[in-house]
Structure 1
Amino acid sequence: MKLYKFCSLIMIISLTVSGCSDEFLDVEPKDRIDGTSFFSNDNEMIIGVNGVYAAQRTILSRADGGTAMLYTLFESRSDNAGSDHTDQAERVETDLFNETPGNNPIMGAWESMWSTVNLANLVIASATVAEGDQAIIARVVGEAKFIRAYTYFHMVNLWGGLPIRTEPTDDFSNTILPRSSKEDVYNVIVEDLTDAANALPESYSGGFGNEPGRATKGAALTLLGKVELQRGNKPAAETALRQVLGKYELLPDFSDIHAAGNDNTEESIYEINHNPANQTGWFIPNGFIPNNVAADLGIVAGGSSRNILGIYPTQDLVDSYDPNDKRIPGTFGIDTEGAYQGPYISKFIDLNTATAGSDINLVVLRYADVLLMLAEAIGENTEAYDLINEVRSRAGLPDIDSTSPGSFMEKVMNERRWEFAFELHRWIDLLRLPQSEVIAIMRTQLTDQQQNLFGTTYNTSLIKEERNLLYPIPQGEIDFSGGQVEQNPGF
């Protein structure tokens, strides 16, 4: 589906569905929305940004053809998780670095992300005409800019340089734009997050428009630190992250972070909200575990009957953990009795899951991330190891220092891998390594995976530097632009 079709649909549909979290306002359905004039006052601006949150939830939590869209593009792509290589061909392609510009999961992610950006643009543009409490309107704009920045951040790590759209696309006049450079996209993201940090509160007091779970100043600064780290600007990352240091705290028990109903905890900085009671339950984790495990746990719905799960932990990840690591039970389990016979993701299990989905929020920014990102930003010194060891202490692991095996970056990356497995961080983290290292890691992991699980030989030449570890731009976008949008090299 071409961009202009999706833009028009999202403006009609996204604004008329439920709010964006467990407690957010449920928006009454309407048959027609009259462009930007719909957001004519502060209350309507709040309803509008609720729709932006809902669109973001669609990106991060929706299933695409039975498989999680971003789990396919981020987690299965990495060395943390594998895909069923007997599954639908297009999902297998993204795991094997053999995708084409016509790949449907890639196209679905592209369309959903641009729809979210366009909806955020609509809210931001409406602020110029909206009446009412201008402080609320300014804050809503900050929320929309945060989500727009987060969406662009995912996109730039998936595709590289992008068309930069900061105005609503409601006709053909500004639909077709050429790709800007990766650096220019990052500049827009940084500007959005700087504005958001200045506009957003530290927390929310409750009530209509002030529900906990909305983007905060801490979320904007944390994401700003992540963005600056990703583009190699460590001093700027340090500056942003130090403003968050000490504002949150680690939960004593790692498993509580993702526990059902345990929303917006002291460690959580930003999470994607789900609530089965509001028809926004999270369905993706149901397919992470084998059917017999679900039955043993007494879960009514969910589980997978396939001998190979659609998404599963790699043996390389399982073997990398210290056996004494307290994070293991809250990260993966091992099925030894059913047809699957292997590791499965246990991080997001809701024992009360039914047909309405899980009551688990996807925590995408949390305080442990701040600690480990700050350690990476400041580089190897005593303070950096203190930050790393704060995370290791909760896991029941001994302190490390400069005399511990491995380079400093290897130690940071290992800690991040163990702490954030299956939280959509690993592939983005790997992209901060030299390209040759990422290629070597993935060639080794996929060769082992193919031989051990599927008895086939992996063509290691599929992962090559000319493709720059990016996904192809969907061919429909290139065709629709008349060639103004150029394809990534190697496709």
Structure 2
Amino acid sequence: MQQLLKILGVVTVAFLLGSCTGKLDVKPISDPSVVNFYRNQQDFEQAVNAAYNGLSTYPTRHLFLSEIRSDNMYVPGEGGTYDWNPVNNFTVNSSNALMSSAWSDCYNTIMRCNSVLDNISADKVPDETVRNQFTGEAKFIRALMYFDLVRFFGGVPKIEHLVNVTAAQSINRASVQEIYDLIIADLESAAQLLPASYSGASKGRATLYAAKGILARVYLTRSGPVLLDKGPVLNSNEYAKARDLLLEIINSGKYVFINNYAQIFSYDNENNSESVFEVQFKSGGTGTGTVIPAEMLPGSYMRANKIPVASGNDFKYVSNDLISSYPAGDVRLTFNVIQGFTDENGNFVNQNYFKKFLDPKRYGVDLRDWGINQPVLRYTDVLLMYAETLLHTGGSQTAVDDIVNQVRTRAGLAAITGVNADTLLEERRREFAAEGLRWHDLVRTGKAVTVMNAWMAKEDEKKVMKPMKNEFILYPVPQTEINIKPGLYDQNAGY
């Protein structure tokens, strides 16, 4: 999988599609660089790999727009103003570069998926099993991108086929419900088309259980209380649907709970029994590594530890509140966070940083070249989401407690009883810190406003954060998109 996705993907993208640059200005379907590319199974394999390659920005997108947005990090702005500081401070506007990159990165990947889906046929890919797999993979990746878009921006343009510039400029924002309809249809189809597992070089590709797990997450997101009209949460009460999907994954026997927390994230244990789906990365100067370890840690830490790469700045702090939430003896704290360090000049730096994905001996050729995969869905998440659905559907309290205690035991903590929704949410916070889930968890459970405002009162020492309000559940539509055709897109409330 790593060879397939990482070597072919970058080359294929440039040949398949034109520049997107946030404007959906893909080459029209009549362009020979698209139509004439697809001749046989190998061409479609390369095209699907290009779609996987589009997931390379998924980890940083969720670092900037979920972790930094949440109570897990305090990034108020020091040493200059970076694009993520307004995200942290709830002062972000439509001109922020992170908004345009999130939008355009998702749509670039969607266009790659649409290219496959528009062109695949039995005459070009005669093997039905292979054809189904390619179709299912494209639908899975497209659904994942639309799920990001609807959670970050609400309703967005629904584009299911390759379109030219003129056509793109007439497509307005679809409703949140319409986008969810497409996401659900794609994931349901993918679950029917994809295999249960892979072997050899294909290990790491999307499976039917990955599709069902993300679909369960979709149902959980839709089910929570509505705080914002046109937001991603619909009070749909689909907990039973999520429960049944998660139980299928649990009962499949394909996944095993790993009892050593650190082993889940080992560079030598990627695509392990905990992995339902993860973004694949490979170091070695091929342009297919990840920047995440260097993005989370400061250059001064790297230099002090003789790691010959650097990050952009020293100011992405883990919040004191997150650190204090870990009980004494919780092994996840020491694995996830570095609590201060001595720099190369012998000075102690009294700041906290995420180090979850760092192996000091496994750096690549530069700061963007770390060979550690990034989890999108772990088996532990499947179990904890299942426990959550049991709480909402009148399930067994003992079963809920048993799941949470399995996670706590691995963390070195004593068992507890009577787990409720708040207890579960805090356990998820500690377990999945730095994995990009926290903001989404707060939004879908209806806790974003109350939790964030209470957190600000304790954490915002610099007094630079605006109070959290319902409108800030969504981000602003990028100004680059609004400028394409004035009046086509309306701006989200509050911006």
- Looking at structure 2, the residues matched to 333 and 343 of structure 1 have their Cα atoms a distance apart, in angstroms, of 6
- Looking at structure 1, the residues matched to 330 and 158 of structure 2 have their Cα atoms a distance apart, in angstroms, of 43
The DSSP-based 3-state class of the residue aligned with 1:265 is: coil
Aligned partner (choices 112, 119, 122) of residue 115 of structure 2: 122
- Looking at structure 2, the residues matched to 279 and 478 of structure 1 have their Cα atoms a distance apart, in angstroms, of 32
Instruction: Tell me how large the CA RMSD over aligned residues is.
Output: 2.2
TM-score (norm 1): 0.86
The DSSP-based 3-state class of the residue aligned with 1:180 is: coil
- Looking at structure 2, the residues matched to 75 and 327 of structure 1 have their Cα atoms a distance apart, in angstroms, of 17
Aligned partner (choices 293, 297, 301) of residue 285 of structure 1: 293
Aligned partner (choices 469, 485, 492) of residue 488 of structure 1: 492
- Looking at structure 1, the residues matched to 170 and 439 of structure 2 have their Cα atoms a distance apart, in angstroms, of 30
CA displacement at 1:448 relative to structure 2? 3.4
Cα distance per residue 1:145-183 (max 9 Å; x no partner): 111111111111101111111111244224431222212
- Note the 1:239-278 alignment, pairs <5 A: 239-245=244-250, 246-277=253-284, 278=286
1:416 is matched with which residue?
428
CA displacement at 1:37 relative to structure 2? 3.5
Aligned partner (choices 143, 149, 154) of residue 149 of structure 1: 143
1:104 is matched with which residue?
97
Q: Which of 481-490 and 235-244 deviates more?
A: 481-490
The DSSP-based 3-state class of the residue aligned with 2:473 is: coil
Asked whether the equivalents of residues 449 and 469 of structure 2 are also in contact (C-alpha less than 8 Å), the reply is yes
- Note the 1:318-329 alignment, pairs <5 A: 318-329=323-334
Asked whether the equivalents of residues 88 and 465 of structure 2 are also in contact (C-alpha less than 8 Å), the reply is no
TM-score (norm 2): 0.85
Q: Indicate yes or no: 2:476 matched with 1:477.
A: no
CA displacement at 1:267 relative to structure 2? 0.6
- Note the 1:43-442 alignment, pairs <5 A: 43-57=42-56, 59-61=57-59, 68-86=60-78, 87-128=80-121, 130-206=124-200, 211-232=202-223, 233-245=238-250, 246-277=253-284, 278-302=286-310, 309-338=314-343, 340-352=349-361, 353-356=363-366, 357-379=369-391, 381-402=397-418, 408-434=420-446, 437-442=447-452
Asked whether the equivalents of residues 299 and 309 of structure 2 are also in contact (C-alpha less than 8 Å), the reply is no
Closer, same or farther: CA 164–23 of 1 in aligned 2, 3 Å:
closer
Aligned partner (choices 26, 39, 42) of residue 7 of structure 2: 26
Closer, same or farther: CA 179–324 of 1 in aligned 2, 3 Å:
same
- Looking at structure 2, the residues matched to 155 and 393 of structure 1 have their Cα atoms a distance apart, in angstroms, of 36
Q: Report the AA paired with residue 474 of structure 2.
A: L
Closer, same or farther: CA 22–313 of 1 in aligned 2, 3 Å:
farther
- Looking at structure 1, the residues matched to 408 and 242 of structure 2 have their Cα atoms a distance apart, in angstroms, of 22
CA displacement at 1:98 relative to structure 2? 0.9
- Looking at structure 2, the residues matched to 21 and 312 of structure 1 have their Cα atoms a distance apart, in angstroms, of 32
Cα distance per residue 1:393-412 (max 9 Å; x no partner): 2112122221x6xxx11011
1:457 is matched with which residue?
463
Asked whether the equivalents of residues 290 and 340 of structure 1 are also in contact (C-alpha less than 8 Å), the reply is no
- Looking at structure 1, the residues matched to 458 and 385 of structure 2 have their Cα atoms a distance apart, in angstroms, of 30
Asked whether the equivalents of residues 22 and 273 of structure 1 are also in contact (C-alpha less than 8 Å), the reply is no
CA displacement at 1:22 relative to structure 2? 4.5
- Looking at structure 2, the residues matched to 360 and 447 of structure 1 have their Cα atoms a distance apart, in angstroms, of 36
The DSSP-based 3-state class of the residue aligned with 1:400 is: coil
CA displacement at 1:282 relative to structure 2? 1.4
Asked whether the equivalents of residues 260 and 358 of structure 1 are also in contact (C-alpha less than 8 Å), the reply is no
The DSSP-based 3-state class of the residue aligned with 1:363 is: strand
- Looking at structure 1, the residues matched to 301 and 486 of structure 2 have their Cα atoms a distance apart, in angstroms, of 51
Q: Report the AA paired with residue 407 of structure 2.
A: V
Asked whether the equivalents of residues 299 and 354 of structure 1 are also in contact (C-alpha less than 8 Å), the reply is no
Can you give the 5+ residue segments of structure 1 that lack an aligned partner in the other structure? Answer: 1-19, 62-67
**Percent same amino acid among aligned pairs?**
30
Asked whether the equivalents of residues 4 and 49 of structure 2 are also in contact (C-alpha less than 8 Å), the reply is no
The DSSP-based 3-state class of the residue aligned with 1:348 is: coil
- Looking at structure 1, the residues matched to 81 and 448 of structure 2 have their Cα atoms a distance apart, in angstroms, of 26
The DSSP-based 3-state class of the residue aligned with 2:150 is: helix
The DSSP-based 3-state class of the residue aligned with 1:328 is: helix
Q: Report the AA paired with residue 349 of structure 2.
A: Y
Asked whether the equivalents of residues 139 and 200 of structure 1 are also in contact (C-alpha less than 8 Å), the reply is yes
The DSSP-based 3-state class of the residue aligned with 1:342 is: strand
CA displacement at 1:53 relative to structure 2? 0.5
Closer, same or farther: CA 177–388 of 1 in aligned 2, 3 Å:
same
Q: Report the AA paired with residue 82 of structure 1.
A: Y
CA displacement at 1:295 relative to structure 2? 4.3
Q: Which of 315-324 and 371-380 deviates more?
A: 371-380
- Looking at structure 2, the residues matched to 303 and 181 of structure 1 have their Cα atoms a distance apart, in angstroms, of 39
1:16 is matched with which residue?
none
- Looking at structure 1, the residues matched to 178 and 217 of structure 2 have their Cα atoms a distance apart, in angstroms, of 17
